[in-house]
């Protein structure tokens, strides 16, 4: 049987649905609207396997904050009523045939990446449902990313238009230009245009950082900031080697009767 794994970036979906509700957001209504969205996703993708991946709720910001102490600092916390209603939402997901995978200290991004790449590497189809462009570094013929809210594919043409680089150079690009929303600094004074220009002249970030023929305008910005650039790239990169502790059979999609 051909496999089509659909991986839902759960909090990416839930927090957007919750924030879009008029008036005082209600957890039961959030669960209902999320399930409507998920049923549309199931109908359009026809998954053989499906799972919703959730982030852990602890204050531990993980290995990325060890490399960059300000990583995701100041991010708006989850609304208390939504945090308290996670069991309700997960039960609603289970009622429509979608199991939940909760991370235990790892970021959901890394769990999603590990699971998705493990299946895609076997030439099986994987669809990640998320608005997070960080997943686009994983793009390959059998792995795609769907932005449910904008109803678009975050594919290679989209990335090249959006960033000016191919998906496989995204982490090199972020190592230079940074990601302000996640407090990933990149190299001070090098913005998106400069990052694209440098990556058109050199094959990757490391080649730029060790080049002996950099133009003086770039050299003075990079000198002394090499380790910050490397740390920025590392933090923007997804881990794909986590131990998952389950197999595909556990997340096989069975339509509820």
- Reported as a pLDDT band with limits 50, 70 and 90, residue 55 is confident
Average pLDDT over residues 195-215: 97
Higher pLDDT, 25 or 47: 47
pTM tops 0.85: yes
User: Within a 10 A sphere around the Cβ of 184, how many other Cβ atoms?
Assistant: 24
Gyration radius of the chain over CA positions: 20
- Does the annotation flag 132 for ligand binding? no
Domains and CATH numbers, the chain: 4-154 (3.40.50.1010), 165-236 (1.10.150.20)
Cβ pair 5, 126 in contact under 8 A: yes
Return the pLDDT at 152: 97
- Does the annotation flag 89 for ligand binding? no
| Residue 72: strand, helix, or coil | coil
How far, in Å, CA of 72 to CA of 168, rounded? Answer: 23
- Reported as a pLDDT band with limits 50, 70 and 90, residue 72 is confident
- Does the annotation flag 187 for ligand binding? yes
Residue-averaged pLDDT of the chain = 94
- Does the annotation flag 244 for ligand binding? no
What does the DSSP 8-state code read for residue 184?
B
How far, in Å, CA of 84 to CA of 74, rounded? Answer: 21
Per residue in 24-34, pLDDT tens?
A: 779 999 999 99
Residues near 158 by beta carbon (within 8 Å), at least 6 away in sequence? 136, 152
How far, in Å, CA of 1 to CA of 199, rounded? Answer: 42
Return the pLDDT at 24: 78
- Does the annotation flag 190 for ligand binding? yes
- Residue 140's nearest CA partner among 163, 162, 161, 116 is 116
Return the pLDDT at 61: 65
- Does the annotation flag 185 for ligand binding? yes
Per residue in 97-149, pLDDT tens?
A: 999 998 777 889 999 999 999 999 999 999 999 999 999 999 999 999 999 99
How far, in Å, CA of 76 to CA of 83, rounded? Answer: 13
């Amino acid at each position: 049987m051909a496999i089509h794994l659909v991986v839902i970036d759960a909090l990416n979906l839930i927090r957007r649905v919750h924030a879009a509700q008029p008036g005082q957001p209600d957890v039961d209504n959030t669960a209902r609207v999320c399930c409507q969205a998920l049923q549309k996703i199931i109908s359009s993708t026809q998954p053989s396997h499906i799972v919703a991946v959730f982030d852990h709720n602890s204050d531990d910001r993980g290995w990325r904050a060890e490399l960059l102490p300000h990583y995701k600092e100041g991010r708006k916390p989850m609304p208390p009523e939504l945090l308290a209603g996670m069991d309700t939402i997960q039960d609603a997901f289970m009622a429509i045939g979608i199991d939940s995978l909760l991370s235990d200290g790892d970021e959901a991004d890394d769990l999603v990446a590990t699971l998705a790449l493990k299946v895609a590497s076997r030439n099986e189809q994987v669809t990640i449902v998320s608005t997070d462009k960080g997943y686009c570094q994983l793009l390959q013929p059998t792995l795609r990313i769907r932005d449910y809210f904008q109803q678009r594919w975050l594919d290679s043409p989209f990335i090249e238009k959006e960033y000016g680089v191919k998906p496989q150079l995204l982490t090199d690009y972020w190592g230079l230009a940074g990601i302000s929303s996640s407090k990933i600094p990149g190299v001070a004074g090098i913005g998106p245009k400069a990052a694209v220009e440098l990556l058109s002249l050199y094959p990757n970030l490391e080649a730029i950082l060790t080049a002996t023929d950099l133009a003086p305008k770039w050299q003075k910005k990079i000198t002394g900031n090499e380790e910050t650039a490397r740390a920025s790239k590392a933090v923007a990169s997804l881990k794909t080697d986590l131990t998952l502790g389950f197999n595909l059979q556990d997340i096989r999609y069975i339509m509820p009767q």
